[in-house]
């Protein structure tokens, strides 16, 4: 009966529930839970799985050049980065206010890394992101203006 249930969960694409139920069965923990606790655990697992897949999809569609995270940003004095300002930007409130960020500085100081880290953070918070370099952005804008889109 449990294999039939697992097959149905997989066919209905309830992958989070599938893995949580399979783990519970293999660990023999199904008897430790009441019916409502087991159901709550399965629903939470499905919710988490869908949220994680959504974030992974958003990151994939953003087309980042490399993986970056706000936690890994380097705040050495030579970079002149204000930790408080970066943390405020990482909250992504500027997106809701329709504001832009321009990251400037000399070559090799980590502008792309900082932009990527902010983009990753925005993806995690549920925003859609598209990562591109300035020359590619200007080329796309020029093409869009030329064809009226």
From 61, 82, 112, the end of a domain falls on 61
- Give the model confidence (pLDDT) of 6-46 as tens digits: 999 999 999 999 999 898 888 887 778 888 988 999 999 99
From 61, 84, 109, the end of a domain falls on 61
Compute the distance between CA of residue 120 and CA of residue 72 in angstroms, rounded to an integer: 12
Are 92 and 136 within one domain? Answer: yes
> In the structure encoding, which two tokens stand for residue 140, read together?
């796309």
Compute the distance between CA of residue 27 and CA of residue 57 in angstroms, rounded to an integer: 31
Compute the distance between CA of residue 134 and CA of residue 139 in angstroms, rounded to an integer: 9
Phi, then psi, of 52 in degrees rounded to 5: -65, -40
Are 46 and 79 within one domain? Answer: no
Compute the distance between CA of residue 22 and CA of residue 10 in angstroms, rounded to an integer: 11
Q: By residue range, what is the domain housing residue 48? A: 2-61
1 pLDDT higher than 70: no
Are 117 and 141 within one domain? Answer: yes
Phi, then psi, of 42 in degrees rounded to 5: -65, -40
- Give the model confidence (pLDDT) of 108-143 as tens digits: 888 899 999 999 999 999 999 999 888 998 999 999
Local structure of residue 122 (DSSP, 8 states): H
The DSSP string of 42-111 is: HHHHHHHHHHHHHHHHHHHHHT-SS---GGG----GGGT--HHHHHHHHTTHHHHTT-------STTSSH
């Amino acid at each position: 009966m449990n294999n039939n249930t697992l097959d149905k969960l997989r066919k209905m694409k309830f992958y989070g529930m599938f893995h949580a139920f399979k783990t519970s069965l293999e660990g023999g923990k199904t008897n430790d839970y009441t019916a409502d606790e087991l159901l709550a655990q399965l629903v939470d697992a499905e919710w988490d799985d869908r949220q994680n897949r959504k974030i992974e999809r958003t990151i994939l569609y953003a087309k980042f050049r490399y993986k970056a995270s706000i936690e890994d940003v380097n705040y050495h004095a030579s970079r002149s980065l204000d930790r408080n300002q970066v943390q405020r930007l990482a909250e992504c409130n500027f997106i809701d206010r329709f504001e832009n960020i321009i990251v400037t500085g000399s070559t090799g100081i980590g502008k792309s890394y900082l932009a990527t880290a902010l983009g990753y953070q925005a993806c995690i918070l549920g925003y859609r992101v598209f990562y591109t370099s300035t020359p590619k952005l200007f080329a796309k804008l020029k093409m869009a203006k030329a064809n009226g889109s």
